[in-house]
Structure 1
Amino acid sequence: MRGRFLTALSLRIVSDVADDAFYAQLDDQLLRTPQFFAGAPMVLDLAQAPGFADPAALGDLVANLRNREFRVFGVENAGALDRAALQGMGLIPVEGGRDAPLPREPRPARATPQAPTQPQATPAPQAPLNKVVRTPVRSGQMIVAEQGDLTVIGSVASGAELVAAGNIHVYGNLRGRAMAGCHGDEGAHIFCQSLNAELVAIAGLYQTNENLEEAARQRCTHIFLENEKLRMEVIA
């Protein structure tokens, strides 16, 4: 067994009824940002939609979302929904993280005579675990640097994903998705030699290809957060 980092979209439902207006708004969003949803796993957040606690209503919603190629696999804040009903719809309940157990109080040790010890040197702080990829990243690949920066020496194809706790450097054409500061680091940056990404994000704030600044397209670009907005600065 190995733990893996997985990014998933959370679709927060704020209506108790999925009517024609609901699906019309959803279809409009799909037309404007198709790359953002393509192939992405999705969780439904029902905290503000108690009406979908009815299995029939939820089943109809899930069927309509899957017909639109949303990969719905889980439900958050499902309330009293029966787990057997969720399983019948191919869903799992997604719960929040749990608190770590408190450390136990150490037992008092018996007093025993000890020889004087030499003072121990303070260990040097460990450097961040940066990751370097020396080959192009193909469509469908997902490269994750859970600590530190991620550097790609090559191009990133459409349909590929880069995820890093720190900065992302791409020495080539960036056409896939790049998500820096994935643990909430708002000081993270994205650098690429040619920008034509499907999506760029820093600390959860993102822009899709349709909203990229025209002056930065296919240019050497520096992307960073400023006043809670993504800025794109052409380097050359």
Structure 2
Amino acid sequence: MNQAIRQEQGLKLRGRLVASHQLPVTTTDPDTFGHQLSLTINKAPALFKQAPCVLDVSAFNEAIEIDTLSRLLDICRKHQLIPFALTGEKKIHLDCAAAVNLAWLDLKAGQPKKEKLAPIEDTMVITTPVRSGQQIYAKNANLLIMNQVSAGAEVVADGNIHVFGALRGRAIAGACGQPNVEVVCQQMLAELIAIAGTYVVQEDFPAGSGPARCRLDQDSLVIDYLA
């Protein structure tokens, strides 16, 4: 009788860096933290929905109580964020991460290199105005809007976003972490611009008006006015 020999293989692990938000924690008061988080998320809900995040507790010189840290994590999850790691002063906070079943990232030692993503080749074309309350998502594609984007609208793309009219509302390019994309419009009036998780709100835009190009320079979002 021949005995079949079965070769068992373990999982084939792949090293892959995932685009995530680094969330600075500046207070351990749950109500204050929840309020701060709500204000941030309300600026760009699509940018944060089900998004992985790293809690940065480097503002604290003493270990955060585990019960308090657990409450902060619960608040993140109620806002549909997915906390998966902690960062800060390793000697102080490493045990805290282990106690709440989070990974540890040594972000202070230098940001890891981002994985080279496949280029975006498809394009979604929108010819009608994007109205208030409307959301458009160009998955695995660039987004070309031949009209205007109204206040209160949200346009999202894994690639570039080009608007041939006025851009109001929110524009989120590189939604899956692609940093080499841009947002270009004929009239910059946006409430928020985001590229690969880095965003800037209207109050922080540089002075200027008219046509604009938005891009990433290192870890900063730059808005260049073209007129």
| Number of the residue aligned with 1:114 | none
Max radius of gyration: which structure? 1
After superposition, the C-alpha distances for 1:100-147 in whole angstroms (9 at most, x for unaligned) are xxxxxxxxxxxxxxxxxxxxxxxxxxx822100111111222211122
Indicate which of 200, 206, 229 corresponds to 2:220: 229
CA RMSD of aligned residues (A): 4.3
| Number of the residue aligned with 1:129 | 122
Indicate which of 14, 36, 54 corresponds to 1:26: 36
Amino acid at match of 2:28: V
| Number of the residue aligned with 1:17 | 28
Q: Is 2:184 the partner of 1:174?
A: no
Alignment coverage as a number of residue pairs:
174
Amino acid at match of 1:18: D
TM-score (norm 1): 0.55
Cα distance in 1 between the residues matched to 2:199 and 2:219: 11
After superposition, the C-alpha distances for 1:137-162 in whole angstroms (9 at most, x for unaligned) are 11222211122310111111222111
Amino acid at match of 2:36: L
1:12 Cα deviation after fit: 3.7
SS in 1 for 2:223: strand
Amino acid at match of 2:219: E
1:211 Cα deviation after fit: 0.7
The structure-2 alpha-carbon separation of the partners of 1:76 and 1:186, relative to structure 1 and needing over 3 Å to count, comes to closer
Amino acid at match of 1:233: D
In structure 2, stretches of 5+ residues that fail to align are 1-19, 58-62, 86-97, 101-119
Pairs within 5 Å for 1:1-236: 12=23, 14=25, 17-18=28-29, 22-23=32-33, 26=36, 30=39, 36=43, 41=49, 54=67, 58=71, 62=75, 72-73=79-80, 75-77=82-84, 128-216=121-209, 219-236=210-227
TM-score (norm 2): 0.57
After superposition, the C-alpha distances for 1:79-106 in whole angstroms (9 at most, x for unaligned) are 888xxxxxxxxxxxxxxxxxxxxxxxxx
1:164 Cα deviation after fit: 1.4
After superposition, the C-alpha distances for 1:45-86 in whole angstroms (9 at most, x for unaligned) are 58668968649x739x74xx9xxxx972455349888xxxxx
After superposition, the C-alpha distances for 1:162-213 in whole angstroms (9 at most, x for unaligned) are 1112211111111111111223322211111111111111222211111111
* Further displaced range: 72-81 or 145-154: 72-81
Amino acid at match of 1:76: P
1:225 Cα deviation after fit: 2.1
Cα distance in 1 between the residues matched to 2:146 and 2:24: 40
In structure 1, stretches of 5+ residues that fail to align are 1-8, 82-126
